[in-house]
Amino acid sequence: MKITVVGYKKEARLSQGVANDEDTELISFLKDKGLDVVPSIWNDENVDWSNFDVAIIKSPWDYHNHLNEFLNWLDHLEQLGIKVLNPVEIIKWNSDKHYLKDIADRQLPVIASEYLEKGSCFDNNFFDLLNADKLVVKPCVSAGAQNTVTISRNNVNEHSKEINELLKDQDYMVQPFVEEIKNGEWSFLFFNGKYSHCSLKKPKEGDFRVQHYHGGSISYPTPDPLHIEQAGAYLKSLPQSTLYARVDGVLIDNAFNLMELELIEPYLFLNGDNTLLENYYQALTEMIP
């Protein structure tokens, strides 16, 4: 069985602050386990995808800038009869942040979200609708806080024009600015539905973006078992099992609230740890023929 671990044409900015080349370490570990694994780039025209039995969608970190091409490529893999992990149906659903509404409709705790359609204009009523004096506006298809804008009642005139300009290109979502983000965003990692480990990402002073390439810091605390259970509930609502899932959120009144369910290309914080790599390997062997 031939397996490919799929990444992207690397950009230094997305690797800034990351100590480990996670993909290389993972591939090396899987090879040592006797699996026939090679890396590939999802939009490399020279790759003959029919050579593979399994495609692990690991780190296509630029997919959101080429969404239609990416989704068509996933369809192509399915047409070739390749087993895709995570499943194509799950990836398509997860590629647009309207999925958060689906999760909220299942009565699971999600940061409140409203949506702005492409071509519409930002409405000051969102402050009252979301009962907030400060809002976060971000694209429905994005990654890494790209084109994310914070706006308050005090600077609404200053930023409305910027948001309306962005709305010419795609749909956006509006959420209340969650002050608890200053305490950090928790990421719970699950492989084939089983909890593996977690990280806590904190923004740098004066910022709200927790990504390492925006200056955020990462630690690895021991989480409360209650919060692990709460994070796992989001996966139980999915129609298919996933090889990997990163459940990102904040604690509000000691309860986990979802910000993002990362099922396409999350950094997994494996950090070259053989125990965590083994967790991934065990999940993979459970999911491939």
For the full predicted model, state whether its pTM sits above 0.85. yes
What pLDDT is recorded for position 181? 87
What pLDDT is recorded for position 173? 95
In this predicted model, what pLDDT tens digit does every residue of 63-115 receive, in sequence order? 999 999 999 999 999 999 999 999 999 999 999 999 999 999 999 999 999 99
Split at pLDDT 50, 70, 90, the class of 3 is very high
What pLDDT is recorded for position 69? 97
**Least confident piece of the model among 117-121, 186-190, 216-220:** 216-220
- The mean of the pLDDT values for the chain is 92
* Spatial separation of the C-alpha atoms in residues 90 and 208, rounded to whole Å: 28
What pLDDT is recorded for position 282? 98
What pLDDT is recorded for position 206? 61
In this predicted model, what pLDDT tens digit does every residue of 46-66 receive, in sequence order? 999 999 999 999 999 999 999
Q: Enumerate residues 6+ apart whose C-beta is below 8 A from 148.
A: 136, 137, 138, 139, 142, 209
Split at pLDDT 50, 70, 90, the class of 158 is confident
Q: Enumerate residues 6+ apart whose C-beta is below 8 A from 15.
A: 21, 213
Give the chain's domains with CATH numbers: 2-87 (3.40.50.20), 99-109+180-272 (3.30.470.20), 114-177 (3.30.1490.20)
In this predicted model, what pLDDT tens digit does every residue of 263-277 receive, in sequence order? 999 999 999 999 999
Percentage of the chain surpassing pLDDT 70?
Answer: 92
Look at residue 211 and tell me whether its pLDDT is greater than 90: no
Judging by beta carbons within 10 Å of its beta carbon (0-12, 13-18, 19+), is residue 50 exposed, middle or buried?
exposed
Judging by beta carbons within 10 Å of its beta carbon (0-12, 13-18, 19+), is residue 155 exposed, middle or buried?
exposed
Mean per-residue pLDDT, 224-252 = 97
Q: Is 7 within 8 Å of 57 (Cβ atoms)?
A: no
Look at residue 165 and tell me whether its pLDDT is greater than 80: yes
